[in-house]
Amino acid sequence: MGWEPEQVPNQAYPNVARNASTFVGVRASVESSTVNQAGTAMQPVAGSRGHPSILDRIVESKRAEVQRLESRTDVLAAAARDAMPPRDFEAALRRRGQVALIAEIKRRSPGAGEICGLLDPAAQAASYEAGGAAAVSVLTDATYFSGSLEDLAAVRRSTALPVLRKDFVIDGVQLLEARAAGADAVLLIVRILDDPTLARLHALATDLGMAVLVEAHDGEEVDRALEAGARILGVNNRDLTTFQTRLDVTLSLVDRVPADVVLVSESGVRGAADVGRLGAAGVDAVLVGEWLVRQDDPEAAARSLSVQPRSSVRGR
């Protein structure tokens, strides 16, 4: 049986209640960011020789998900209103003198294939917390990553850490779904959103009480993320069209990110030395999934990453 919003504990969070109590207001926000034939919200991402990229196919699957969710907008809005209060994801990443670890729950990916099909999300998250992680990221896409909102809910129950819903968000109804399931933060990917939609989704997520990790891959996308109001900016070292990964992507963009914005390096970290290298450049946090999931002792692995020093010098 799939996750249902009725399973969410009934504890109202005032900011969410103000925004979800008037259904018309929430629906207006949702409809303004819907991907449809009248006005697409995604940026086209060309695959090789004109064929759709993996990212194109993922986003197309999200269009279908959004269509299925639209009839449940009022139920999700009510569940978002009654969800447990959000934990402070941004504050968790602001660790003085140390690189914060966002440890990820990840069963598979299009690039790596199966990583750990029998992963127990709750037990894994508990190990991450014991190892000093600052937050947990949960892949909730089912088709390409074998994730689910059940995984997110299980992690939220098993740990006191803030939990990030990592998915391909193209519509406001997905944000309601995330908050209803207990997400404390959500991912917005610049590459798949136009500027007005990115700004609207960022504002709606903030109104729902969630932090927003805005993901970029190059200088132009970093500038667009900052223009949209990003306070937490992730640089994905993996090119989502080719799935090639280079830590130098983050290192080349460090100086474009203001010092008061939390800078997160995502993907490609394969041990403490990589975290140390990023910390020396002034990176505030790292998001690590595949390497951690493959370790026999995830608690010890998380501890090795979460004690790395960070330089205080960065940004313009």
Domain-embedded: residue 40: no
Number of structural domains the chain divides into: 1
263-315, pLDDT tens digit by residue? 999 999 999 999 999 999 999 999 998 899 899 999 999 999 999 999 877 75
pTM of the predicted structure, to 2 decimals: 0.86
Q: Is residue 250 part of a domain?
A: yes
62 included as an active-site residue: no
Q: β-strands 135-139, 113-114: how paired?
A: unpaired
Which residue out of 29, 33, 236, 265 is catalytically annotated? Answer: 236
Q: Identify whether 243 is part of a domain.
A: yes
Which of 146, 267, 304, 306 is the catalytic position? 267
199 domain-assigned: yes
Any domain includes 55: no
Look up 61 and say whether it is catalytic. Answer: no
Residue 19 is a catalytic residue: no
Known catalytic residue: 104? yes
CATH number for the domain spanning 158: value is 3.20.20.70
pLDDT in tens, 72-102: 999 999 999 999 999 999 999 999 899 999 9
CB 225 within 8 A of CB 258: no
Catalytic residue among 33, 53, 62, 104: 104
Distance CA 310, CA 291 (A): 21
Q: Is 266 a catalytic residue?
A: yes
DSSP SS3 for 187: strand
| Phi, psi angle pair for 189, to nearest 5° | -100, 115
The angle formed by the CA atoms of residues 223, 169 and 78, to the nearest 5 degrees, is 125
Write out the two tokens for 89: 């994801």
- CA–CA separation, 277 vs 265, rounded Å? 11
* pLDDT score for 168: 96
In which band, very low, low, confident or very high, does the pLDDT at 107 lie, cut at 50, 70 and 90? confident
The answer to whether 172 and 159 are in contact (CB under 8 A) is no
Tokens standing for residue 202: 């960022």
State the residue range of the domain holding 302: 89-306
Query: Which one from 127, 166, 221, 237 is the annotated catalytic residue?
Result: 166
Q: How many CB atoms lie within 10 A of CB 118?
A: 6
Say if 300 falls within a structural domain: yes
Q: Determine which one of 53, 62, 106, 127 is catalytic.
A: 106
* Candidate list 129, 215, 221, 290, residue with the active-site label: 215
| Residue whose tokens read 């998001």 | 287
Residue type at 64 in one-letter notation: A
Residue 72 lies in a domain: no
Q: What is the enclosing helix (H) or strand (E) of 137?
A: strand 135-139
**Residue 6 neighbours by CB distance under 10 Å:** 11
Whether 153 is in a domain gets the answer yes
